[in-house]
Amino acid sequence: MDDASPRGPARYANGRFGPGHKGRPRGPRGRMSRRVALSLLGHFEANQAAILERLTQYFLTDYMGLIGRMLPKDPDEVDLDALPPREAAITTRAVRAALERVEAGEGTLADVEAALMGEEAP
């Protein structure tokens, strides 16, 4: 480490880099991570339809969780915590039943959506 720099020490005693010192230069490890990420993205783009079909068929709960995390939070949407306990219990029971039907191969995503919206399944 070069502590004689006019910008200050390269590293402080606590291990933190000093001003103007970026730390470890981007090297093979960073390039490898980027290469793997680009490879995964390329594979997904090439096989998107099949991957999404398998996700909805075998991992619907995880898929729905992923969608839920990706959607923007709209303050106007119904919040289960804001519902009266009886309505929240009814909605939760309906969603669980819809998910069980989907896992058994008897339901679809439309059933889950209808349960979330408080509507009858199509």
pLDDT at position 11: 77
Between helix 48-58 and helix 60-70 the angle, nearest 10°, is 120
Residue range(s) defining the domain that contains residue 52: 48-117
**Same structural domain, 37 and 76:** no
**Same structural domain, 59 and 91:** yes
Q: Does any domain span residue 5?
A: no
CA neighbor of 114 nearest in space, from 85, 91, 87: 91
pLDDT at position 23: 66
pTM of the predicted model, to two decimals?
A: 0.36
**Same structural domain, 31 and 62:** no
**Same structural domain, 53 and 87:** yes
pLDDT digits (tens, 9 = 90+) for 103-120: 888 888 788 878 877 776
The answer to whether the CB of 114 falls within 8 A of the CB of 103 is no
Q: Does any domain span residue 2?
A: no
Total domains, the chain: 2
**Same structural domain, 40 and 69:** no
